[in-house]
Structure 1
């Protein structure tokens, strides 16, 4: 309806009340324990299927046998040793690939010539499945640590590069212009405008890269290795030890979820200034 005041122009008011979002502090959060309902249900069904004979032990060991195998390989030292070796390879490959991807992404994002020189070959290489390069890496570098670390580095490089490049290119040009008008030099523009603007996309690339890093080391250690978690899984396959295989896979999954949780915590802390991030548990 419209309401007219003396001496004032007519204004039209919406008859429907304006909806306001609740304060971020009052947002309902899903209790953490509810996230465990479906995983626990899967384990229970799995155990029941094994107990009743619906699932053969030689095809997939029961959860109880998996737990027993985990205790055995931990006491023997096989699991801690393999875990330490695999973790070291992932860290080394992640640092190499992450650093190269970060440098190339920033350069191609900020520089026109950098984009022309770097972006085309990276876009071509990223379409190739890097895991298919394992035979070539073994041929070129042998079967020592080098091919495993390089395979992880190559898998990490592309998501880091793509997201950093997109984040830098996605910075609002108006903010850049405002910074130049305000007298910021190139270093200050990078620090106060480019880095905060590209950080959300870069952290997304970091989460993707960590997942690919663990996938890469699984393949690398399974194909050509005599140490690490992948070797433990491959050795268990030779003896039809499905319980040990599941132990290795569970450890990989826990490591992947753990590193992803660390990045999510870093994301919430680093992007606290964003209203859509603060107070959420995404």
Structure 2
């Protein structure tokens, strides 16, 4: 909830600040002179300032919730407690006598060579205890190990830091049965609970920063990227992993386009082809490519052929529907005009249908490339010796979250680059899009 509220606050605040600045420094152009802009797609243009702030906000929140060095320390969210602490306990022996002792605890960094606090055990029936706890973890204190009164004999703790401990409190579970509720005592910088056997469990304050195993800071991901880029991972360089994934995507997409586009044209121009293939295309269209992975493995194995076939099927139906939609969207007035000028069917196909259907085909190609890129990563998660998905899968088994996030970022960057390349190709090859 806190990250969401922070993100929403930055979004709203930056919107009004940028709006105020732009109002003071507005440039009067054709769009600014329009009296009606709501609903006019031509008047909506990407705000570059908003894009920059959006990216900076993501990295800022990433850094502030992970204690990153790229964000000033005073902007960090409260992190886990690291240091020393203590609390007093009162032990009641089976005969009803009571004695007090102190539990000393120390929280150290996970990779630090630390030792528990050195303390004097004291004197009496209950002696002092000490425990070492690693950051983000909890520690268990078997307080009766060095005491005269033992838990097995009926001794128990009745007070923690002056707060009485109630072992008789009941609560109802999900089935409505009464069960014992374990006491929970809050002390300075920690929460004290009891195990089933009566030992103390010390849980230092964890704050709201993310543990590195769940979300490492940006500099750790960058360091891992430099390391893998220079040394490789699992016997292959980073470029080889990315190259294998791109090769599979491009080959699978091209195969799907070479079959799907002619199929779509045939469905858009022939009643027989439309009636024959329409049920097949409409049946396969909603089936996610990932659902086909087991079947493709059975048919083609786990080698390269199986992955290419899977990507071919992922692109085939999208390209067929895009080509069919492009043919269906050709203005009939243009066809009639061409016929009236004496054009043959071949000329109508070449000069009317193909040019006017290309915008839809390029839109379908962008969608198909995105689907193929996501599918190849999932396919490599199942069975591959090289590839981006394989790299993420192996890293996840060893809980190397920095490699997993690095792979996700690379997937997103490459996918975005592919989409930008497709948009550029569309502007160059289909300059008449949107111009009637």
Is 1:237 matched with 2:396? yes
Partner Cα separation in structure 1 for residue 49 and residue 223 of structure 2: 26
3-state secondary structure, aligned to 2:65: helix
Partner of 1:48: 64
The C-alpha deviation readout for 1:151-202, integer Å capped at 9, x for no partner, is 1111111221111101101211221122112111122111211012211211
Kept in 1: contact 2:359–2:433 (CA 8 A): no
For the pair shown, the structure with the greater C-alpha radius of gyration is 2
Secondary structure of residue in 2 paired with 1:50: coil
Say which structure is richer in helix: 1
Give the counterpart of 2:327 among 158, 163, 168: 168
Partner of 1:187: 346
Matched, 1:64 2:64: no
Which residue in the other structure is 1:152 paired with?
Answer: 311
Distance 1:90 1:30, change over 3 A: closer
**1-structure distance, mates of 2:230, 2:211:** 27
Provide closer, same or farther for how the CA distance between residues 98 and 275 of structure 1 changes in structure 2, counting only shifts above 3 A: closer
Q: 1:32 to 1:269 in 2, by over 3 A?
A: farther
Deviation at 1:217, TM superposition (A): 0.3
Q: Which of residues 402, 412, 415 is equivalent to 1:253? A: 412
Any stretches of 5+ residues in structure 1 without a counterpart? 1-18, 278-282
Answer whether contact 2:395 2:403 (CA < 8 A) is retained. Answer: yes
Counterpart CA distance in 2 for 1:186 and 1:96 is: 27
SS of 1:178's equivalent in the other structure is: helix
- Structure 2 residue 218 is matched with structure 1 residue 74: no
1:101-154 CA distances to partner (integer Å, 9 max, x unpaired)?
A: 111101111111111112221111212222111111111111110111111111
In angstroms, what is the RMSD of aligned CA positions?
2.2
Which consecutive aligned stretches of 4+ in structure 1 deviate over 4 angstroms post-superposition? 19-22, 27-31, 274-277
- The structure with the largest strand share of the pair is 2
From 357, 375, 379, the equivalent of 1:198 is 357
Partner of 1:120: 279
1: CA distance, partners of 2:388 / 2:248: 11
Structure 2 residue 260 is matched with structure 1 residue 101: yes
Q: CA deviation at 1:36?
A: 2.1
Q: Which residue of 2 aligns with 1:132?
A: 291
Deviation at 1:215, TM superposition (A): 0.8
Once the 2 structures are TM-superposed, how far is the Cα of residue 91 of structure 1 from its aligned partner? 1.0
Distance 2:259 2:353 in 1: 19
TM-score (norm 1): 0.85
Per-residue deviation, 1:85? 0.8
* Separation in structure 2 between the aligned mates of residue 231 and residue 271 of structure 1, nearest angstrom: 37
CA contact (8 A) 2:323 2:357 kept: yes
Residue equivalent to 2:132:
none
The count of corresponding residues between Structure 1 and Structure 2 is: 256
Q: For the residues of structure 2 that align with 1:270 and 1:145, how far apart are their CA atoms?
A: 32
2:300 match: 141
